[in-house]
Structure 1
Amino acid sequence: MTVRTPLAPGVNFVRISTDHAKVRAILGLVWIVPIAVVLVVSLVLWTDLIWIPIGLAALLALAITITAVKVRAVYYTGYHETDEELIVCRGIMFRQLDVVPYGRMQEVKVEDGPLQRRYGLATITMETASTSADAEIPGVPRDEADRLRRRLTELGTTKMEGL
């Protein structure tokens, strides 16, 4: 599947794995479930103090909204490899386009946590000579992440030799 963005018309970005939406949803539950439990307990214990349940309900609604937006953002995150640079796009409302020249890459890391490993995913982090040009691609299938790390490292070494 591909991602298209008005920031780079005509460029087809490779979309990250949709399993990353599951990872983000589960991480969102880490916040939503405790808030919901506290809300139910407060409704039972403090029926005369209406502001406590109202505040907790608003907090629960906010946690659900933030989680839903983070899950939906997975479908707007992707990357595109060119001969000279890697382009990463993300964002629904606030779109971001990161362009990382291969010759400026200093380090490429592939990381995964227990939840990402469960779904066979990893996060690729690229560090460059400029701290403002660093980029991250979450939710990449592990095999693709390893391939991309090898390719980016190789291209980074090759392109840096010309500097």
Structure 2
Amino acid sequence: MNRIELPQTGEWRRVSPKLVAVELVAGAVFLLAVSAVGVGLWYLGVGWLAIGLWAVALVALINLAFTPRRVRAIGYQLRDDDLLFRRGIMWQRFVAVPYGRMQLVDINRGPIARGLGLSELKFVTAAAAAGVTIPGLPEAEADELRDHLVLLAESRRAGL
């Protein structure tokens, strides 16, 4: 298996392990909803559609099994000129967001994540495909990282 080799310019920072709980709760709610609709359709006599929904539920259950590993694969690295973000197990994604190209740094906190003290940090650039979202950051770390990135972005844009 070939791995993407990147220059080691800093330490990878991982997201909080509490993100596993957030992902598991969201996945379990989806799984229960799909299963309940499948049971309802079965009793209404639409068995073929119920079987299709149960197949979706099976895929969701398999997805839940991989959640802890998928969360461990998420990380970011603050480099000299950009923020490098990674995620994915089989299909790995690496995105480098130059500090000078950041237009917006946004923090979102959903109800489950907020209850566990987690935030989601989103970076928006001029290129829509280059938007990056880092889930599962502790609230204090997300606030500190947002402020740091805004300062870096302003200083880098001023130098353009």
After TM superposition, the score normalised by the length of structure 1 is 0.83
Partner-residue secondary structure (3-state), 1:138: strand
**TM-score of the pair, normalised by structure 2:** 0.85
Structure 2: runs of 5 or more not aligned:
none
Hey, what does 1:126 align to over in structure 2? 123
Contact 1:16 1:75 in 2 (8 A): yes
Structure 2 letter corresponding to 1:81: L
Secondary structure, aligned partner of 2:149: helix
Decide whether aligned partners of structure 1 residues 52 and 111 sit closer, same or farther in structure 2, where only a CA change above 3 A counts: closer
User: Which of 50, 57, 66 matches 1:69?
Assistant: 66
Distance 2:28 2:146 in 1: 31
Residue 100 of structure 1 corresponds to which residue in structure 2? 97
Question: Percent identity among equivalent residues?
Answer: 34
Residue in structure 2 matched with residue 83 of structure 1 by the alignment: 80
Deviation at 1:105, TM superposition (A): 0.7
Paired letter, 2:6: A
Q: Shift of residue 140 of structure 1?
A: 0.6
C-alpha distance in structure 1 between counterparts of 2:53 and 2:108, whole Å: 35
Q: Which residue of 2 aligns with 1:24?
A: 23
Query: By how many angstroms is 1:55 displaced?
Result: 3.9
Kindly provide the CA deviation profile for residues 54-107 of structure 1, in whole angstroms up to 9, marking residues without a partner as x: 544423211211233344311100000012110000001110001000011111
1:139 matches 2:139:
no
1:137: Cα distance to partner?
A: 0.4
Number of residue pairs the alignment of both structures matches: 157
Query: SS state of the match for residue 29, structure 2?
Result: helix
Which AA in structure 1 matches 2:66?
V
